[in-house]
Amino acid sequence: MSAPTGSTPEPTSPTGDRSTRRISAGVAAALAVTAVLVVIGIVALVVGLRGSSGTPGPPQPAAGGVATASAPAAPGPSSSSPSASPGQGGTPTAGRTAGAAPGTVGMGDFLEASEPTSIEIPSIGVRSSHFVRLGIQPDGTISVPGTAQEVGIYDAGPTPGQLGPSVLAAHVDTPSGVPGIFYELGKVRAGDVVTVSRRDGSHLTFTVDKVAAYKKSQFPTELVYKGDFTQAEIRLVTCGGPTDSRNEYRDNVVVFGHLSSAA
């Protein structure tokens, strides 16, 4: 992604067997959002992530009728205001599977909702504490960060550490070519780690499973937003690939990772 010129997909929660587990309010909310998305049908989402000053407006359709950014039908009212909170509370062990060792995370482990306060990707030197909320706009597209130095979190999905994939998007650069916070996201490799601190005081480590690039016209919305629904996951999204005649990136780069430890 790059400031106001790129794309970002929408998150969906993973599917897992929780019939024998007491589900927290935060998890129930995430599952409700996912259920609505499944019922109404999932549409490919691509958010402009190449920057400009100020908050970018709704993406314009590309030549041939293919939208440069589209999103699934809104699951309900949402706000793109940075002050809108996804909810917080709970402790680093809340929701953890019985018997799980402290500091470790395995299949089925997840935490209560709590907004992120910082993110680090050591392998590419990324460190940021500037977060903004990304919501569904009236035209059905997802909003994008207003600057190339902000990290946006999809506010209708899980926060990092909750059950399901938490989707974070940032710009790759600005229209003038100034590097954005996710400028080198495409250099991340499987096995690298992404660390996230949360407002509740917890510190999470996600291990990268894979990194892939997709044409915006073929964005895998379900894969990015739904996941396997059995664990806490993270998705990092930005723009990449060659640019078109309008100097807009053709692809989206997506980093997929799972929660490997929490403290």
Average of per-residue pLDDT across 63-81: 31
The pair of structure tokens assigned to 215 is 């044409």
Separation between Cα atoms, residue 102 and residue 205, nearest integer Å: 14
Average of per-residue pLDDT across 119-136: 96
pLDDT for res 226: 84
Tell me the domains of the chain and their CATH numbers.
25-262 (2.40.260.10)
pLDDT for res 229: 76
pLDDT above 80 (res 239)? yes
**Structural contact between residues 115 and 85, judged by C-beta atoms closer than 8 angstroms:** yes
3-class SS of residue 36? helix
**Structural contact between residues 216 and 241, judged by C-beta atoms closer than 8 angstroms:** no
pLDDT for res 3: 59
Calculate the average pLDDT of the chain: 71
Please name the helix (run of DSSP H) or strand (run of DSSP E) that holds residue 237, with its range, or none: strand 232-243
pLDDT above 60 (res 53)? no
- Between the two ends of the chain, the Cα-to-Cα distance in Å is 30
Separation between Cα atoms, residue 200 and residue 91, nearest integer Å: 7
Q: What is the CA radius of gyration of the chain?
A: 17
The pair of structure tokens assigned to 192 is 């690298």
- 57 burial type by CB count under 10 A (0-12 exposed, 13-18 middle, 19+ buried): middle
The distance from CA 257 to its chain's CA centroid, rounded to whole angstroms, is 11
3-class SS of residue 89? coil
- Side-chain-side CA neighbours of 41 within 13 Å: the count stands at 1
Average of per-residue pLDDT across 56-83: 30
Strand 203-215 vs strand 249-262: parallel, antiparallel, or unpaired?
antiparallel
pLDDT for res 171: 96
In this prediction the pTM is: 0.67
Nearest alpha-carbon partner for 145 in 156, 134, 157, 159: 134
Separation between Cα atoms, residue 146 and residue 155, nearest integer Å: 15
Separation between Cα atoms, residue 11 and residue 229, nearest integer Å: 11
